[in-house]
């Protein structure tokens, strides 16, 4: 098999307007990939794309607009991707939110769970059935070391709202999805891995109290350092056969023991299909 190289490959990254996503897009463009940036806001997206082109010198950078809190937007996004790109080589589900306030999406779903977990679940399933078909394609989910088991009786985090817990539960769900999808795609040549990028000073904590934001600014890494991990997972030739793993930094690690529970994974998959009204082929 030819040695994996990201040059010329189509790499799509969500949440590419800022932080780790923006730096990941720049890094991949710098390595010669054709980068597709998915952003929520047209103006911010265009500014981000200009930055990536300027920093990398690579003009093969596309911008697609979608609000991942809206399932209708995710369906439209998947349709657009199918129309433009015959195949995707790398999908990086990076977009996420963390909020001290509980809000609902237009679909009536708690926003953290919707954006951080259901959006990658739906988008990935819509694309796996069509454009992510090449052998050696890579699906990469950006999760967090801050993950804790979901409560099936409270997926909407209605009981005693806590923004950090809602975030941690959404990341737990995304890890479980990563392992389950890796199992379902075993033998297809498509790998699915997830990663914790480290503690990085970004806009993720923008709605949290000032002391917390100040702490992140002084003690956390810079986005370019956080981006090293998704870039590593997207580009490393030695990871071609590696799937269903959790990476902390650029090293494999163990996630919470409950993330390896296959019964929990099957239950979560079923609930997620119901919540996204999506029936995957697998």
Ligand X SMILES: NC(=O)c1ccc[n+]([C@@H]2O[C@H](COP(=O)([O-])OP(=O)(O)OC[C@H]3O[C@@H](n4cnc5c(N)ncnc54)[C@H](OP(=O)(O)O)[C@@H]3O)[C@@H](O)[C@H]2O)c1
# of chain residues touching ligand X (CB under 6 A):
27
What string marks each residue from 127 to 156 as x (binds ligand X by CB under 6 A) or -? ---------------x-x------------
Q: By the 8 A CB rule, do 102 and 164 touch?
A: no
The pair of three-digit structure tokens given for residue 21, joined into one six-digit string: 């996503």
Q: Tell me if residue 167 is catalytic.
A: yes
Residue 181 lies near ligand X (rule: CB under 6 A): no
For ligand X, the closer of residues 120 and 264 by Cβ is 120
The pair of three-digit structure tokens given for residue 161, joined into one six-digit string: 């709202």
- Minimum separation from the CB atom of position 77 to ligand X (A): 10
Q: What is the largest CA-CA distance in the chain?
A: 53
Strand order of the sheet with strand 245-248?
61-65, 34-39, 10-14, 90-93, 138-142, 191-196, 245-248, 251-253
Residue 112 lies near ligand X (rule: CB under 6 A): no
Which residues are registered as beta bridge partners of 34? Answer: 10
For ligand X, the closer of residues 33 and 140 by Cβ is 140
**How many residues does the structure list for the chain?**
282
- Minimum separation from the CB atom of position 138 to ligand X (A): 17
Distance separating alpha carbons of residues 161 and 62, to the nearest angstrom? 38
For ligand X, the closer of residues 68 and 264 by Cβ is 68
Residue 96 lies near ligand X (rule: CB under 6 A): yes
Name the catalytic one among 167, 179, 232, 246: 167
- Minimum separation from the CB atom of position 227 to ligand X (A): 8
204: Cβ–Cβ under 8 A, 6 or more apart, which residues?
19, 96, 97, 98
Phi-psi region of 157 (alpha: psi -120 to 50; beta: other; left: phi over 0): left
Residue 44 lies near ligand X (rule: CB under 6 A): yes
The pair of three-digit structure tokens given for residue 17, joined into one six-digit string: 């307007």
For ligand X, the closer of residues 27 and 197 by Cβ is 197
Looking at 67-75, 120-128, 250-258, 274-282, which segment touches ligand X (CB under 6 A)? 67-75
Residue 197: closest CA among 51, 23, 9: 23
Residue 196 lies near ligand X (rule: CB under 6 A): yes
Cβ neighbours around 261 below 10 Å, total: 15
Residue 110 lies near ligand X (rule: CB under 6 A): no
Strand segments, DSSP code E, in 8-79 are 10-14, 34-39, 61-65
Name the residue whose CB lies closest to ligand X: 19
What is the helix (H) or strand (E) element at residue 171, kind and residue range? helix 163-184
Residue 97 lies near ligand X (rule: CB under 6 A): yes
* Residues numbered 208-267 forming contacts with ligand X, rule: CB under 6 A: 220
- Minimum separation from the CB atom of position 89 to ligand X (A): 20
Q: Site residues (CB under 6 A) for ligand X? A: 15, 17-21, 40-41, 44, 67-69, 94-97, 115, 142, 144, 196-197, 199-200, 202-204, 220
> What residues are labeled active site?
167
């Amino acid at each position: 098999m030819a040695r994996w190289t990201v040059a010329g490959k189509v790499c799509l990254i969500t949440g590419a307007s800022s932080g780790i996503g923006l730096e990941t897009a720049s890094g991949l463009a710098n390595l010669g990939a054709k980068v597709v940036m998915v952003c929520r806001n047209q103006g911010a997206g265009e500014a981000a794309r200009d930055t990536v082109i300027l920093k990398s010198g690579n003009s093969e950078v596309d911008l697609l607009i979608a609000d991942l809190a809206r399932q209708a937007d995710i369906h439209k996004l998947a349709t657009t991707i199918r129309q433009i790109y015959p195949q995707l080589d790398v999908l990086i589900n990076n977009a996420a939110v963390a909020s001290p306030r509980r809000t609902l999406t237009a679909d009536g779903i708690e926003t953290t769970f919707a954006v951080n977990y259901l959006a990658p679940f739906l988008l990935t399933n819509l694309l796996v059935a069509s454009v992510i078909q090449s052998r050696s394609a890579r699906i990469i989910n950006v999760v967090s070391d801050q993950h804790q088991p979901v409560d099936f009786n409270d997926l909407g985090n209605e009981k005693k709202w806590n923004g950090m817990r809602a975030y941690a539960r959404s990341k737990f769900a995304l890890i479980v999805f990563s392992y389950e999808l890796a199992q379902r795609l075993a033998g297809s040549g498509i790998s699915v891995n997830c990663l914790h990028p480290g503690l990085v000073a970004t806009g993720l904590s923008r709605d949290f109290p000032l002391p917390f934001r100040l702490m992140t600014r002084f003690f956390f890494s810079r986005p370019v350092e956080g981006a090293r991990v998704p870039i590593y997972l997207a580009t490393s030739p030695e990871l071609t056969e590696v799937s269903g793993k959790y990476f902390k930094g650029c090293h494999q690690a163990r996630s919470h023991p409950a993330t390896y529970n296959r019964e929990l994974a099957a239950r979560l998959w079923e609930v997620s299909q119901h919540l996204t009204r999506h029936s995957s082929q697998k």
